[in-house]
Amino acid sequence: MGIDIHWLKLKATEGGFAGMSLFILLFLFPLLSLSVRHWLSGIFSVLVLLGLFYAWRSVKDLYREEKILFAIFGFYIFSILLSSTVTGWSESSFHRLGTEFKYMMFFPVYMYIRQYSAAWRGFLLAIPLGAIVLGMQAIYDVMFQSMEQASGIYGPIIFGDFAVILAGISLIFVMTNRNWFWRGLNFAAAVMALIAVLYSGSRNAWLAISLILVIIPFMVVSRSSLRQVIMGYLVFIPVIVFAVMSVPDDTTSRMEKATKEFNTYLSHEYKSEQELNDSSVGIRLELWRSAIKIFSENPVLGVGPGNMGVAMNELVERGDARSAVYRDPAGVRGIHVHNAYFEVLGTQGIIGIVVFLALLFYPLYIFIKNRSCDMRIASMGVVLMTCFIIFSLSEVPFVHDNFSSIFLIYLCVFFAWIMNAKYTAKQS
């Protein structure tokens, strides 16, 4: 399956009301994602409600890979509940359940989505449109609102990170599709998404887009000729250079600032504690060092999800961490160490980190392994999982509502699609 010109002859009505509703919701999901508040969570909630009703109406046996993925999600949720129960439920632990509820809803949403393959087309048709909207939002924020970073409605981190995903998917179609209209639309989408990445000023997003641009040719070269890939990059590289040159100096200076703060932290050259408090990179490095200390003292189950702030304060009071990581109040949602791996190590211990790594790397393995079944969808899955692996280096996307909505819906569609491609080919 792929998106060529015949994909524009949609069959959204396949599956009746359930299939048409899914098509519309998946089409809408990427469009105004970070421009309208509650857009992502609202659509996710509607998908959950429909999933609870329709997921079990036409149940097909789960394939082996799906059963393993379901088991990983089950163990992920169980590790959170186990750690919270053993270490003691706190106000922050209960707050975390709001986001974890989304991961419980993965099951009905996935079961609903996997039944209506025609509806998946709407999702991919909307991705380049969503990328263009995101680029326009970035230009508006920086050029017309005079903001230092493009932020959308939820901030520059998720804005830049989501733009990386859209840019990567759009580039895959630029390099693999033969229809000039669809290729041109996706090229424009990739350019606009790249602008959103650069204007976001998110150093995490800059790292992610750099790696994604390297990975994509290796994923698509067998489908399209090497010449087509090279030509695609020869056209795209000048665009990258022009886009980088158009980024305001205040935004690009963030990379130089990060390097300076990193070197200062390693050399312990702070003239005062306040200088560390003003260092974004310095605080994160201190948070990571403290998280490792917390893990070493609570290696099996950690200190419990949501309790990292309290544990950090105890380290500071004991003199084992700098005051820059002290938070008052500590027992509130939103306090984390800006690294998903260290966060899970500290809050859920060895058990949690093993399951968390499986949650990230098992789908990646499946997409790579089944690349021959549907190269495009497999490549999109690789982009998605690679991005979240990178995002987790300096953020904890899985404790944020909108980040979680993006991860779960994209994973549901791409994983169901690659499974359908694999087993449909076997049956035929």
d(CA 423, CA 428) in angstroms, rounded, equals 9
Flag the least confident range among 230-244, 270-284, 346-360: 230-244
For 241-267, give the DSSP string. Answer: HHHHHHS-HHHHHHHHHHHHHHHHHHH
pLDDT for 304-350, tens place per residue? Answer: 988 888 888 899 999 888 888 888 777 666 678 899 999 999 999 99
Rg (CA), the chain: 22
Give me the residue spans of the domains in the chain. 5-250+350-426
Residue 313: count other Cβ atoms within 10 Å of its Cβ. 20
Find the largest Cα–Cα distance for the chain: 70
Lowest mean pLDDT among 4-18, 33-47, 63-77, 237-251: 4-18
Closest CA to 235 of 187, 199, 193, 198: 187
154, 61 contact by CB (below 8 A): no
Greater confidence (325 vs 28) lies with 28
Cut 0.85: pTM above it:
yes
* Burial environment of residue 170 by CB neighbours within 10 A (0 to 12, 13 to 18, 19 or more): buried
Q: Which range is least confidently modeled, 96-100, 153-157, 328-332, 358-362?
A: 328-332
Own/partner contacts of 8-13, CB < 8 Å, gap of 24 or more, are 8/125, 10/118, 10/121, 10/122, 10/125, 11/118, 12/118, 12/119, 12/122
Side-chain half-sphere of 229: how many Cα atoms within 13 Å? 15
**pLDDT number for residue 423:** 92
CA atoms within 13 A on the CB side of 308: 30
Q: Is the pLDDT of residue 9 over 50?
A: no
Report the C-alpha gap between 209 and 181 in whole angstroms.
25
Higher per-residue confidence, 362 vs 178: 362
In 3D space, the residue among 281, 395, 377 whose CA is nearest the CA of residue 341 turns out to be: 395
- Residue from 329, 318, 416 nearest 107 by CA: 416
Distance, in Å, from the CA atom of 315 to the CA atom of 13, rounded to the nearest integer, reads 58
CA distance 205 to 171: 16
Over residues 253-280, the mean pLDDT reads 72
Query: Which one-letter amino acid corresponds to residue 340?
Result: A
